[in-house]
Amino acid sequence: MEFTVHQQLGSGVLYKDKDIVCIKDNENHLVVYGFSPVFKELLTIDLSARTNQVGRYSEGVYYFQDRNTYFHAFTGGENNKVEDSFFYEICPDYKAYTILSKKDLIICESDKSVEIPILQRGAQKLFLDKGLVQVGQKNGLIAYYNVLQDDKIKWQQTFTALTSAEKANLHSRILSSDDKLFFVVTGNERKGLFVLNLETGEVVKKFEGLCYEIFKDRDYIYTTQFENILCRINIKTLELEEWDCNALITENGFHSIHDHRCDVVNDRFCFTQTLGDDKAKLGVLDWEKKELVYKHEFEPKNGAIGSIQVNETRMFVHTQDNVLHIFEKV
């Protein structure tokens, strides 16, 4: 696997999905690119220096700036502004937003309007086709709401109850499939990767001891365990596969694959490493080939790696010196 690499000073990725990527450049332009059928520019929008919250709706992108949400269509047609509002998500069946005068509520608007109390500002929120998952780290719980019906909690689980530990915390992002939720909870020696039934909140399975960040690629959840073992869980069957790649990565100059700044696409696990005074590194492990198919060492001046996003043809890596490194597959 080969990539060409180019750098954009003062740039960063504010949003990415399978279809588009939104990059804010050093002149505070938000440049929106489409991936298919060819990589091309779709929109350029002037932003303020502090604006960094961007989302996607079917016709274009939106962003929050100066207490308002602005909508820009890909076609360059009519653009809209919704005053004194912050939009979380726009789904096919509803839109979720906050009015700044009611900033403790999430309004989910479909054929009716449902107001859901925010469990904790800044905590994880996962908007699904018909529901909302909220985390309250302060009170140690995860809760699910059907946003098309009412504001009542459909079910909730506490992290201490899940682990049977006196203290427990959410230790990963929350990922979903059609009928399951996946997340990691730590609590003394009772840590694990939990799988919950989305409709009932009941525990379907616990993978004991798995405690690192999780990543999703199509029908699989990827994670790692000591010592440099890459794990893959089938979302439908919950079968766990393991690949001990410790010898492979260490003989290629890496120490660890456990950094939370990783991503996965088409069975390729893209991992980063920044340890002590060592140079920051990027590697790509191919699950099917069981090979390290790419590695890259950044220059010392780049500093630590801040984030990585990948798709089928490109990897976007942001480093401490405020440089966006774009790796394009050859």
Q: d(Cα 72, Cα 60) in Å, to the nearest integer?
A: 6
All residues at 6 or more sequence positions from 55 whose CB lies less than 8 Å from its CB, including other chains: 15, 61, 62, 63, 87, 88, 89, 90
Question: Helix (H, G, I), strand (E, B), or coil: what is residue 130?
Answer: coil
Number of H helices, E strands in the chain: 2, 33
pTM metric for this prediction: 0.94
Q: d(Cα 68, Cα 82) in Å, to the nearest integer?
A: 6
Residue-level pLDDT, tens digit, the chain, 330 residues: 999 999 999 999 999 999 999 999 999 999 999 999 899 999 999 999 999 999 999 999 999 999 999 999 998 766 899 999 999 999 999 999 999 999 999 999 999 999 999 999 999 999 999 999 999 988 899 999 999 988 899 999 999 999 998 899 999 999 999 899 999 999 877 899 999 999 999 999 999 999 999 999 999 999 999 999 999 999 999 999 999 999 999 999 999 999 999 999 999 999 999 876 568 999 999 999 999 999 999 999 999 999 999 999 999 999 999 999 999 999
What does the pLDDT look like over 183-212, one tens digit per residue? 999 987 789 999 999 999 999 999 999 999
- pLDDT of the residue at 278: 67
Kind and range of the H or E element at 284?
A: strand 281-286
